[in-house]
Amino acid sequence: MGLLTKKDIALIKDPLFDNNPITVQVLGICSALAITAKLEAAIVMAISVMFVLALGNVIISLMRNIIPSKIRIIVQLVVAAALVIIVDLVLKAYAYNLSKTLSVFVGLIITNCIIMGRFEAFALANTPWKSFLDGIGNAAGYGIILVIVAFFRELLGTGALFGHQVLGDPIKKTGLYALGYENNGFMLLAPMALIVLGIVIWVQRSKNPKLIEENK
Amino acid sequence: MEKRTDKNSYTLLFAIAMSVIVGTVLAFTAQVLKSKIDENRRMEKQQNILYAMGVNENTGENDVVMIPTNKVSDAFKKYIVKQIVIQGDKITDNDKAYLIDLKTEQESAKKAGYQRRLPLFIGKKDGKTYYIVPVRGKGLWDAIWGYVALDNNMVVQGAFFDHKGETPGLGANITQRYFVDDFKGEHVLDKNGNFKGITVLKGNNDPLNKDKNDNEIDALAGATITSNGVTSMLKNELKLYEPYFKNLNKK
């Protein structure tokens, strides 16, 4: 038996596609709208969420037998918030520039429904190792969608990827802009993130009809 | 049968223990890292002040590269020849002036009888004197701030802007070179030498900012409120320094 059993692999793979936290479980939409205007921010957010979710899942899972069920949501919230604050402090001390990029998103991590959702739905009922894998898988699934949405928003909204102008210079009118192309500023606003996300969900469901709920 | 973890007494004890443990861990971490974080903040301020007067490591035309942290202390000593604090008519030397927190000063200034302390940094580079003014204001979501390097006629020589939480891709672009560099050479005073500030607005038919005497900068598309924030930040804050510059030229 290897390090990862078939079930373990499924824990990581499922949330990437068929049980994606954003497009299928519809968790974490709020942050997916807020921070996908730039690819860089989306990736930083995805990594931070992965850290907090994997570690938080392990902590909750270790405590799953001693957490009083009446206040379990509060306990989960405290764990998530404490982790986020520690990460923030460590970054401020040792990776100051990175922490500046992250600044606004740190608060968003605490409110990310994926974190609470996975604590409640998975970590409370499973062993630490499984919970760890579940955390990695779900955070990766979240990250993939974030990156896809951010790619289109940054490209169509500002003509750049990772802050580098790839379609030419919009002010000096070179490259594509010489042909009369214009950036669509609307792409940078939250409504367009929702529409891009909707298109992603549409594509996913038409490829995998199992995901379509029956209308009664 | 009721589980042990369902009891009220257990729940209460758990909650208390958790608060104490988490509180201790967080307080401990914050205390241990505090000096390191303060040091980072201090160096960042020095980097930004130097950036405004043109001491930086930019190579490409879109770069915003600060002088590296290991060189910043020496560079700050070398280029910033004097730091002063203006309080009413009183001007005092203070080599810790760059550590004055503008936020607290702005808050205190609302109280009656408090004369706000205004820090000003005087830098010299290649025989030219720069008067660097720190500014702070409100953007769309949160604070925006920066440093503006002026010459003795209040003509902008360089600037640096930063923000806490403006929209990425829109208001957050106040840090970008194509916005910041537009300020270079722009006048703060009008043709008659009266204070006018610099207005950031759209539709002034001067997107490349060729006219440096119109007190106007082309705004960022889709970031009207952040642009307005920059305008009022510059108007309010630079105005406070106007008497100093008037005196400067009388001498």
pLDDT over 70 (residue A2):
no
- pLDDT, tens only, A170-195: 767 777 777 777 777 778 777 888 88
Q: What's chain B's average pLDDT?
A: 86
**A171 contacts B5? CB cut-off 8 A:** no
Q: Report the alpha-carbon distance of residue A168 to residue B97 in Å, rounded.
A: 43
Q: Which domain holds residue A38?
A: 27-208
**Are B37 and A41 an interchain contact pair (Cβ–Cβ within 8 Å)?**
no
Q: Note whether B186 and B231 are within 8 A (CB).
A: no
pLDDT in tens, A65-92: 888 888 888 898 899 889 888 888 888 8
Q: Which residue has the higher pLDDT, A37 or B53?
A: B53
Distance from CA of B13 to the nearest CA of A (A): 10
Asked if B5's CB is within 8 angstroms of A92's CB, the reply is: no
CB contact under 8 A, A69 and B5: yes
Beta bridge mates, B150: B131, B156
Q: Do A85 and B26 touch (CB under 8 A)?
A: yes
B167 in contact with A, Cβ within 8 Å: yes
B59 touches chain A (CB under 8 A): no
Residues of A in contact with B6 (CB under 8 A): 68-70
Q: What is the pLDDT of residues A130-163, one digit of tens each?
A: 899 988 898 888 888 889 888 888 888 877 788 7
User: Do B14 and A66 count as a contact with CB atoms less than 8 A apart?
Assistant: yes
Closest to A200 (Cα-Cα) out of A1, A24, A3, A10: A24
The tens digit of pLDDT for each residue in B149-192 reads 999 888 999 999 998 878 777 888 888 888 888 888 888 888 88
The better pLDDT of the pair B77, A3 is held by B77
pLDDT at A1: 43
Supply the pLDDT for residue B131: 92
Q: Tell whether B33 is within 8 A of chain A (Cβ).
A: yes
A167 has pLDDT over 60: yes
**C-beta atoms of B167 and A37 within 8 A:** yes
Is residue B1 very low, low, confident or very high in pLDDT (cuts 50, 70, 90)?
very low
The better pLDDT of the pair A216, A200 is held by A200
More confident call, A24 vs A117: A117
Distances (CA, A) of B198 to B119, B201, B243: 20, 10, 17
Q: Is B249 on the interface with A (CB under 8 A)?
A: no
Mean pLDDT of B40-50: 90
Q: Which of A39, A70, A85, A87 should one mutate to test binding to chain B, selecting the residue with the greatest count of B CBs within 10 A?
A: A70
pLDDT class of B147 with cuts at 50, 70, 90: very high
Determine contact: B178 vs chain A, CB below 8 A: yes
Whether A68 sits inside 8 A of B170 (CB atoms) is: no
Beta-carbon count within 10 A of B152 CB:
12
Question: How many structural domains does chain A have?
Answer: 1
- Expressed in percent and rounded to 5, the helix, strand and coil fractions of chain B are 45, 25, 35
pLDDT in tens, A10-52: 777 777 777 788 777 777 777 777 778 788 878 888 888 888 8
Of B22, B30, B164, which is closest to A89 when you measure between CB atoms? Answer: B30
pLDDT of residue B71: 83
Strand-pair partners of B119: B85
Number of other residues whose CB lies within 10 A of the CB of residue A7: 9
**Chain B touched by A68 (CB under 8 Å):** yes
How far apart are alpha carbons A55 and A3 in whole angstroms? 19
Task: Please give the average per-residue pLDDT across B139-145, as a whole number.
Answer: 90
Global ipTM: 0.70
The beta strands (E) that lie in chain A are given as: 160-161, 164-165
C-alpha Rg value of chain B to the nearest Å: 23
User: Hey, where are the domains in chain B?
Assistant: 41-250
Task: Tell me if chain A has a CB within 8 Å of the CB of B85.
Answer: no
- Give the percent of chain B with pLDDT over 90: 25
